[in-house]
């Protein structure tokens, strides 16, 4: 045995493992580099796991409600919250809501005692059913981490990608179903909403809505657990709306957690009864034999009841855009203009609104590292200024590249929902060019994930209103200054031109018009929103601009796309006010005021006629587009605002004149 070593091997042992002999130290109690620790305070693995997660500390002193001057206890507040959720899930044909209890059923050793449901309706009680005997577990305002766990464990098609985002599948529907959307036509909406030709509002009666609501509620109550989100819409504290979303999927709960405004603990304690409720039973179809149903999908809005029912589609965008439609109804009632637009603000406080259909560059141009982002899609303009309706962004992901859209790329991290993307099965790296599931791949993330987002998402009154068009016909100027009547005309028109394939393979431009740049979501007639826009622009001194991001020097196929660098120079000149100081001349047919010169942009492209080698072809194409504008506007010309006022001749005169 070695005399100086700690231990030695006995080489004489031929069989088995070598014998190890350790040398005793002078003091057996001395241990070098002691890394031992106190044993855990647990006798079982379950106890050990319970120590891993500490209980949330009390959030804030509870200020309300008070009963006879005494603050309500935490236990009483929890009881009231469960009663409110039970009331939301109450069937209209039964006297009570379901028995509800908070928490994941998988983690409940036994079902805890629960407050008996409150009686909500005076109708006679029916015989008790099986559903009346069970508990419905409520997963209430879960955190993203908790929702990740629920999705990965229970929802097939849910994976964590290499960036940390949650990849999900929306099922058979990978986009909205506008033909399956219905709005209840009743005394509340008969005179207020836009019905008939050109309108996105397809009517249903209240009885049919109640049948679908009952179907959705029964489905949700039959589940062992449902997700409930209590959140807000509109960053303007004076005009925010409380929304409750009841859903069956963690994917839907996380999506709305990101897209709506997330309440603080204090706000959640005082949340109370919601102003609007969504019942998302999208995994369950509607009954196709029900009146007004044309498929197994139905998205139904009842403005009198302040409720929305989703059946037969799991596409999460239905919730986002359904609520946007509701805001298009509720906000104008308060003399607040709801807008489908992007919005940013300069360091001097100058706000710009960006309107534009898909492919016009709205997202690209409103994302500017020299300006603060107020929001990318939905806004309100009130007497206090502008405010974002949402708490998140819903970005397209197809062909996403770090170089082109670094902010969106970097926002796709833990907490973000990635819809219908394709990823490599081992490394889980997303291939944004892959359209195997759908071309409509999306990312939903909190707006705080954008570095230059302005929080809270509010700003002063806009200085500039920018209408974007991608004119593939190549006859609209790169930029035009609009008067109020022209702003109303082009806002109502909502024009862009897509390039569509014809039967013989030749691609030619196709004009697309979407009233108010968001016809699928508006509730009132477009002229009402346009009149409010003009009134606010006039009152607060905003300037209207029409910016063409499309073709120059000819239509698609012969001309070329206006360079993004030139468009950015134009937008910068609008923001700085330099474009207001330019000299202007008027174009023929559309009568647009165009600058004669602009620093950084070739003067010859400012007037489209200069860039067309064939002047006759230019004139013919210009007249063709003017005719398309006129034809589109026919649906609006005879509409009356109120009982007696027609569209003014001034607005009609602001369109093409030939």
Q: Element (H or E) spanning 83, and its range? A: helix 74-88
d(CA 124, CA 520): 41
d(CA 250, CA 248): 7
Give yes or no: 25 in active site. Answer: no
Pairing of strands 99-102, 135-140: parallel
Q: Which candidate in 94, 99, 137, 176 is catalytic?
A: 176
d(CA 246, CA 217): 9
Closest CA to 91 of 214, 191, 251: 214
**Helix count (H) and strand count (E) of the chain?**
16, 38
The angle, 0 to 180 degrees and rounded to 10, between the axes of the packed helices 484-493 and 615-637 is 80
Q: Are the CB atoms for 417 and 374 separated by under 8 Å?
A: no
Q: Are the CB atoms for 420 and 174 separated by under 8 Å?
A: yes
Q: Are the CB atoms for 223 and 139 separated by under 8 Å?
A: no
Q: Are the CB atoms for 570 and 601 separated by under 8 Å?
A: yes
Q: Which candidate in 94, 215, 321, 481 is catalytic?
A: 321
Structure tokens at 79: 């009881």
Q: Which candidate in 25, 50, 64, 358 is catalytic?
A: 358
Query: At residue 270, what are phi and psi to the nearest 5 degrees?
Result: -105, 20
Give yes or no: 240 in active site. Answer: no
Give yes or no: 121 in active site. Answer: no
The angle, 0 to 180 degrees and rounded to 10, between the axes of the packed helices 484-493 and 526-540 is 150
d(CA 489, CA 492): 5
Give yes or no: 363 in active site. Answer: yes
Q: Which candidate in 363, 382, 441, 543 is catalytic?
A: 363
Q: Which candidate in 99, 213, 252, 442 is catalytic?
A: 442
d(CA 68, CA 516): 50
- CB count within 10 Å of CB 4 equals 5
Q: Which residues contact 241 (CB under 8 A, 6 or more apart)?
A: 232, 233, 234, 275, 276, 326, 327, 330
Q: Which candidate in 225, 362, 379, 490 is catalytic?
A: 362
d(CA 639, CA 608): 34
Give yes or no: 377 in active site. Answer: yes
Give yes or no: 249 in active site. Answer: no
Q: Are the CB atoms for 86 and 118 separated by under 8 Å?
A: yes
What are the start-end ranges of the H helices in 521-601? 526-540, 564-576
Q: Which candidate in 377, 454, 493, 552 is catalytic?
A: 377
Give yes or no: 371 in active site. Answer: no
Q: Which candidate in 215, 340, 454, 525 is catalytic?
A: 340
Give yes or no: 86 in active site. Answer: no
d(CA 294, CA 435): 28
d(CA 34, CA 24): 17
Q: Which residues contact 54 (CB under 8 A, 6 or more apart)?
A: none
* Burial zone of 627 (CB within 10 Å; 0-12 exposed, 13-18 middle, 19+ buried): middle
The angle, 0 to 180 degrees and rounded to 10, between the axes of the packed helices 317-333 and 250-259 is 40
d(CA 170, CA 248): 13
Q: Which residues are catalytic?
A: 176, 321, 340, 358, 362-363, 377, 442
């Amino acid at each position: 045995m070695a005399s100086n070593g700690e231990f030695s091997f006995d080489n004489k042992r031929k069989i088995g493992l070598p014998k190890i002999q350790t040398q005793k130290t002078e003091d057996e109690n001395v241990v070098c580099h002691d890394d031992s620790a106190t044993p855990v305070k647990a006798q079982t693995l379950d106890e050990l796991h319970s120590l891993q997660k500490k209980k949330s500390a009390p959030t804030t002193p509870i200020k309300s409600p008070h009963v006879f001057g005494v603050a309500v206890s935490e236990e009483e507040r929890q009881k009231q919250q469960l009663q409110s959720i039970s009331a939301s899930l109450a069937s209209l044909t039964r006297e009570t809501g379901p028995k509800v209890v908070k928490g994941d059923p998988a983690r409940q050793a036994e079902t805890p005692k629960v407050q008996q449901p409150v009686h909500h309706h005076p109708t006679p009680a029916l015989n008790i059913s099986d559903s009346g005997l069970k508990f419905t577990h409520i997963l209430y305002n879960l955190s993203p981490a908790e929702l990740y766990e629920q999705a990965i464990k229970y929802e097939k098609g849910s994976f964590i990608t290499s960036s940390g985002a949650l990849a999900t599948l929306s099922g058979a529907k990978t986009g909205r179903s506008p033909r399956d959307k219905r709005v209840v036509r009743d005394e509340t909406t008969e005179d207020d909403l836009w019905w008939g030709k050109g309108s996105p509002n397809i009517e249903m009666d209240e009885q049919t809505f109640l049948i679908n609501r009952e179907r959705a509620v029964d489905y949700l109550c039959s589940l062992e657990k449902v997700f409930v989100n209590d959140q807000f819409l509109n960053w303007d504290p004076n005009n925010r709306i409380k929304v409750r979303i009841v859903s069956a999927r963690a994917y839907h709960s996380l999506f709305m957690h990101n897209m709506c405004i997330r309440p603080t603990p204090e706000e959640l304690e005082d949340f109370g009864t919601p102003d609007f409720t969504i019942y998302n039973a999208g995994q369950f179809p509607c009954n196709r034999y029900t009146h007004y149903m044309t498929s197994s999908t139905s998205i139904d809005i009842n403005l009198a009841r302040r409720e929305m029912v989703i059946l037969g589609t799991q596409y999460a965008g239905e919730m986002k855009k359904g609520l946007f439609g509701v805001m298009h109804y509720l906000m104008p009632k308060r003399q607040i203009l709801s807008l489908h637009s992007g919005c940013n603000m300069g360091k001097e406080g100058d706000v710009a609104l960006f309107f534009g259909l898909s492919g016009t560059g709205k997202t690209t141009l409103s994302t500017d590292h020299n300006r603060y982002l107020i929001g990318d899609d939905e806004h309100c303009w009130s007497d206090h200024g502008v405010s974002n309706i949402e708490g998140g962004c819903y970005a397209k992901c197809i062909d996403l590249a770090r170089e082109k859209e670094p902010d969106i790329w970097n926002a796709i991290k833990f907490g973000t929902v990635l819809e219908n993307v394709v990823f490599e099965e081992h490394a889980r790296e997303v291939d944004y060019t892959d359209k195997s599931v759908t071309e409509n791949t999306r990312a939903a993330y909190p707006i705080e994930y954008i570095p230059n987002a302005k929080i809270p998402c509010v700003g002063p009154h806009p200085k500039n209103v920018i209408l974007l068009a991608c004119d593939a016909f190549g006859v609209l100027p790169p930029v035009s200054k609009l008067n109020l009547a022209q702003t109303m005309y082009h806002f109502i028109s909502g024009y862009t031109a897509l390039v569509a394939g014809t039967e013989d393979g030749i691609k030619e431009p196709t004009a697309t018009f979407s009233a108010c740049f968001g016809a699928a979501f508006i509730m009132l007639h477009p002229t009402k929103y346009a009149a409010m826009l003009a009134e606010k622009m006039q009152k607060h001194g905003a300037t209207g601009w029409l910016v063409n991001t499309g073709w120059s020097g000819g239509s698609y196929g012969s001309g070329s796309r206006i360079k993004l660098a030139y468009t950015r120079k134009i937008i910068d000149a609008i923001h700085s006010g330099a474009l207001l100081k330019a000299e202007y001349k008027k174009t023929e047919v559309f009568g647009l005021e165009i600058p004669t010169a602009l620093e950084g942009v070739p003067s010859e492209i400012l007037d489209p006629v200069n860039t067309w080698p064939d002047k006759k072809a230019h004139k013919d194409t210009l007249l063709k587009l003017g005719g398309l504008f006129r034809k589109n506007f026919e649906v609006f010309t005879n509409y009356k605002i109120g009982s007696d006022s027609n569209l003014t001749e001034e607005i009609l005169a602001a369109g093409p004149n030939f």
